[in-house]
Structure 1
């Protein structure tokens, strides 16, 4: 009987064959990251393109100034707002209302969300009501809030509170309830009790997600404050927009909208920076 000889490939060749070939990096490949510099340049490029298209339509006479002011007119009206109409006071009032209502909502919603996520009986008790309220538009409460709290600051803070609190509760509950079971079981094995699980496992693990939730809901709070200021207000960016609409001054209206976007963008960057500093160990 003839012996069959088996030729074995060198170990180095076998290892090389098992390694997938390195693919060439492409700028528009799915999920391919971009550098921070490229991200900034692309973001600025969109704004530049947007303004150029806007200027072409308005300055070129394709759109009536009554319906859409040009970028030049908008800048002039914005300067007029600051120099003659004390627009900085309106900005300060709007920022105060957003922060006040949002902080009130966070103080109430975060503990309730943690309790719902950690304890299923509490979730079963509160979740149907919170889900029901989450779909109610905050603007629908304005007539009732005017009757209950008048036209002062309380009414505007409550609009932002109602618009934010139920969203935060549910989102925090989902984050806390999604904790890793193996970490919880390991903590029980090491002798932790129920309160220790919440304080030392669930809350620390959910903290980055909770911070990200607050950042997102803060953006929604800006939409609620403008709605609150459109009715029965004597100050604020929303009040200025309403007055400008009565005068058909689209330049001031657009300037007010842009100011809201700029302030919101700044607050978003600040929130991100704080989150990165507090939770540097997290992927957020």
Structure 2
């Protein structure tokens, strides 16, 4: 019997299917609006959404995108720079795991949105507040996911290096980091998506600019096309960041994807 799981397909076929994955829901959406099955107040047509984005682009859209992207990148980078090394050490050294893993597990189950009142009280409603919410949202997740990846590095690889007289630092740099690096990059890619989620939550609560703030302003004025437009723009930005991570993965770890 010919295997069916993970069977590769041609690139052109893959591309066509991907395009259809976007077009089919769009056509269904347009058909629902054309038949007036739902009021345009609640479900605007794709054309209305496009017009809202075009009008927005002549106003503050560029600034809103810049503000949101900057906050996401800063919060995410601060979290990654601290969380990845901590995750590596938790995965390698049992005393550090015993000291940090329980408290990390305690905090990572707390929703980042629950910290918004405290962040606003301590920091205020400036950009630092949004960056802090993103940091809290992804920091603890990156730690636990990185630690799990480090634990999955085969012990035989490390033991083999020790038999050749390697020191701990050499075993970490030559085996552990190199084996885990592709998975760590994937962890960062996944958490970048979560960072956007936390940013929108933070901007909806306390902000005077940004995509989340614009969506909330549109909701107050029942401007449904702009709400859909804001959601669409965030989705597109997420796809761009995801593709950037995938491209980086193919460049750095070409040996793994060939």
TM-score, length of structure 2 as denominator length: 0.97
Instruction: Note if 1:66 corresponds to 2:45.
Output: no
Residue 214 of structure 2: aligned partner: 240
Map 1:33-112; keep pairs closer than 5 Å.
Answer: 33-83=8-58, 85-112=59-86
Q: SS of the counterpart of 1:62?
A: coil
- Measure, in 1, the Cα distance between the counterparts of 2:257 and 2:142: 21
- Measure, in 2, the Cα distance between the counterparts of 1:165 and 1:158: 10
- Measure, in 1, the Cα distance between the counterparts of 2:155 and 2:89: 17
Instruction: Note if 1:126 corresponds to 2:138.
Output: no
Deviation at 1:52, TM superposition (A): 0.7
Residue 180 of structure 2: aligned partner: 206
Residue 137 of structure 1: aligned partner: 111
- Measure, in 2, the Cα distance between the counterparts of 1:149 and 1:196: 42
Cα RMSD (Å):
1.3
Per residue, is there more helix in 1 or in 2?
Answer: 2
| Unaligned ranges ≥5, structure 1 | 1-22
Residue 236 of structure 2: aligned partner: 262
Aligned length: 258
| Unaligned ranges ≥5, structure 2 | none
Map 1:141-152; keep pairs closer than 5 Å.
Answer: 141-152=115-126
- Measure, in 1, the Cα distance between the counterparts of 2:253 and 2:232: 31
TM superposition outliers: structure 1 runs of 4+ over 4 Å: none
- Measure, in 1, the Cα distance between the counterparts of 2:89 and 2:211: 37
Q: SS of the counterpart of 1:281?
A: helix
Residue 253 of structure 2: aligned partner: 279
Q: SS of the counterpart of 2:8?
A: coil
Instruction: Note if 1:190 corresponds to 2:185.
Output: no
Deviation at 1:58, TM superposition (A): 1.1
Deviation at 1:283, TM superposition (A): 4.2
